[in-house]
Chains A and B, each alone.
Chain A
Amino acid sequence: MLPVKHSRGFPRTIQGFTLFGIAMACAGTAAAADEPLYTVLNPTGNPPPIERKSMAPRPVSLTGKTIYLVDETFDGGDKFLLQMQQWMTAHMPEVKTIFRAKKGAYSADDPALWKEIKSVDGLMIMAIGH
């Protein structure tokens, strides 16, 4: 039995409903003429609406920019970012890098850090370890 193919970068929810919209439901084997047919109810819940957000504008160049390397504290993300910082120091001397561990649990907001990054017109790379 093959699962529905979910192409990368194309959300499951959108894809699922597109399939619904294409007509119908079942793409299995053809029914025998005397086989009973059923109409059934969809068992899934109701997803919330999505509020689209514009991404942050990009600079033309990284020269003179400050890049924050932000660890969200999960499974080795800190060690990975520190290696990235070493690489950037060696290969991108025109860029300033600052390593930071996000405050609080990995899923917690850290508005003070976001404010700090904005205050220097900085950029952020967040790494999620695992």
Chain B
Amino acid sequence: MRKILSSAVLVLALCVPPALAANPRNEAKGQVKFGIEVAQKGLWKAALFHWEKAAEIDPTYAAAFNNLAVAYEHEGLFEKARKAYDTAISLDPKNASIRQNYEFFKEINDRASRRNTR
């Protein structure tokens, strides 16, 4: 019984304090969350603003850069999108979602920049 209670306390100790503590990651997470909410309502410019802020607050937060890249793509800002994807991948190289986004982006970017002028 005591063991069960102590493991519950341990789980709480591991996860809740970081969520409550005021640090750059939490502040950036708030911006990212709000950005997702407005992006899902089609307000991409507002989302872009929040994700830019998140990336500024916590430059090690891969999700912020991933979302930022998606927003740049949506605005047709391909060079900025590429840089944001590069940063996201360098921060979280094993993240399959970021890699998948980047592959789709590359396909469209190649199509846009391809000049078949011969």
Chain A partners chain B: no
Chain A residues packing against B (C-beta within 8 Å): none
Chain B residues packing against A (C-beta within 8 Å): none
